[in-house]
Amino acid sequence: MSDGMIALTTFTEDEKFFYETVKDFAEGEIKPLREKMDVEGKLDPKILPLLFEMGLMGIEVPEEFGGAGSTFFMSIMGIEALSTVDPAVAVVMDVQNTLVNNAFIRYGCDELKQKYLPLLAEQKVGAYALSEAGSGCDAFALACRAEDKGDHYLLNGQKLWITNAGEAEVFIIIANLKPEEGYKGITAFIVERDFPGFSVSKKEDKLGIRASSTCELLLEDCQVPKENLLGEEGKGYKVAIETLNEGRIGIGAQMIGTARGALDFAIAYTKERQQFGKPIATFQGLQFQIAQAETEVEAARLVVYNAARLKGEGKVFIKEAAMAKLFASQVAQRATSLALELLGGNGFTREYPVEKYFRDAKVGVIYEGTSNMQLQTIAKMVM
């Protein structure tokens, strides 16, 4: 059975220690609550404080703002490690680090960083709101509108499928300030949960990653202070695209962790399950299926880590991020399906965790850009 890591020469000692620490934390604190959270469709109240206490919600946030001052690659490793136990908890950390914190670090002015980064690193959950009913893959077909009212902005519209919305207190809202200018009018705003005119509405009842909240947001004459502009007016499309490129690497990490968790459980099961007088793990046909899955998971991990390293080194990584999400999500579906089948009838029951990994893996081909959108990005970069 794999130890859940690739060759240790690819990691520094600090990275190896971090991965193992997060994995141990997930096994000890999250695993006992996993089934209950999945059934109830919400995080246990103790989870978020523990994530903050572990420093997992502000990995790249500079130390001066209360964060760990670490690297994007560390964020990716943490997401993978959590996902081996519960991808639903991992996506909470993922969105906080790769989308919300990254956007503040890259586009926030000094005043915004000083105000929000300490909160996001130490106590408050953030959410990133781009998607709408008519703008999923077509991310810039935004109906959400912003108006300049002189001393404040006024936002009106609806956002759908917003991860972390149930717990978040800080939201990055993408709206169009000048719709007559098309995508050049798109602008990013920072909205707090208690702003007048803002509310969190319907919570989705999902197939997988059920403990992670996914909600609708309503903006009805929502007043946003002028100083809560993230970046520049009309540059929201840049904030959205560049942030999502980083987020896709995070989803790739979530998917390889999901695949790893399912396979590790299934492999251990095959060593215990007896048929024809011996463990089913001794059958060559089964061994070959596991060998194929193991190879694909390791390959996916290398693709994800390569994208993360490129991002961390300040190099172009758009194609590699799309490849990471595309391939890792495909591999996760195959690996979790195989793991379920290896358990036979037991795999089809909620008594064992593999069916949860199977359900959790499906979202990887959908959110933060469908697989077809990743293929389009890769083709555009290649051609």
CA 121 to chain centre: 17
- Mark whether 247 and 344 lie in a shared domain: yes
- Mark whether 219 and 329 lie in a shared domain: no
- Mark whether 353 and 334 lie in a shared domain: yes
- Mark whether 66 and 132 lie in a shared domain: no
- Mark whether 194 and 323 lie in a shared domain: no
Do the domain assignments include residue 339? yes
Do the domain assignments include residue 351? yes
Do the domain assignments include residue 1? no
- Mark whether 213 and 247 lie in a shared domain: no
Do the domain assignments include residue 3? no
Catalytic residue among 167, 320, 355, 368: 368
- Mark whether 213 and 253 lie in a shared domain: no
Count how many domains the chain has.
Answer: 3
CA dist 150 and 226 (Å) reads: 8
User: Which residue matches tokens 């759908």?
Assistant: 160
- Which residues of the chain carry a pLDDT beneath 50? 1-9
Do the domain assignments include residue 56? yes
pLDDT given for residue 2 in this prediction: 43
- Mark whether 258 and 375 lie in a shared domain: yes
Domain boundary among 104, 125, 146: 125
CA dist 73 and 15 (Å) reads: 9
Do the domain assignments include residue 58? yes
368 is catalytic: yes
The CATH number of residue 203's host domain is: 2.40.110.10
Q: Each residue of 168-203: b (16+ CB within 10 Å) or e? A: bebbbbbbbbbeeeebbbbbbbbbbbebeebebeee
- Mark whether 275 and 375 lie in a shared domain: yes
- Mark whether 88 and 115 lie in a shared domain: yes
pLDDT given for residue 137 in this prediction: 78
CA dist 284 and 263 (Å) reads: 17
Query: Is the distance from CB of 97 to CB of 126 less than 8 angstroms?
Result: no
pLDDT given for residue 12 in this prediction: 87
Domain housing 191? 127-232
The CATH number of residue 101's host domain is: 1.10.540.10
pLDDT given for residue 138 in this prediction: 81
Domain boundary among 232, 251, 279: 232
- Mark whether 161 and 69 lie in a shared domain: no
| Token representation of residue 85 | 């136990």
For the stretch 69-89, pLDDT in tens is 999 999 999 999 999 999 999
Do the domain assignments include residue 203? yes
Domain boundary among 125, 143, 170: 125
Do the domain assignments include residue 278? yes
pLDDT given for residue 9 in this prediction: 44
For the stretch 170-193, pLDDT in tens is 999 999 999 999 999 999 999 999
Strands, E assignment, 28-109:
none
Phi then psi for residue 215, to 5 deg, are: -135, 165
pTM: 0.95
- Mark whether 47 and 152 lie in a shared domain: no
Burial class (CB in 10 A: 0-12, 13-18, 19+), 50: middle
The CATH number of residue 336's host domain is: 1.20.140.10
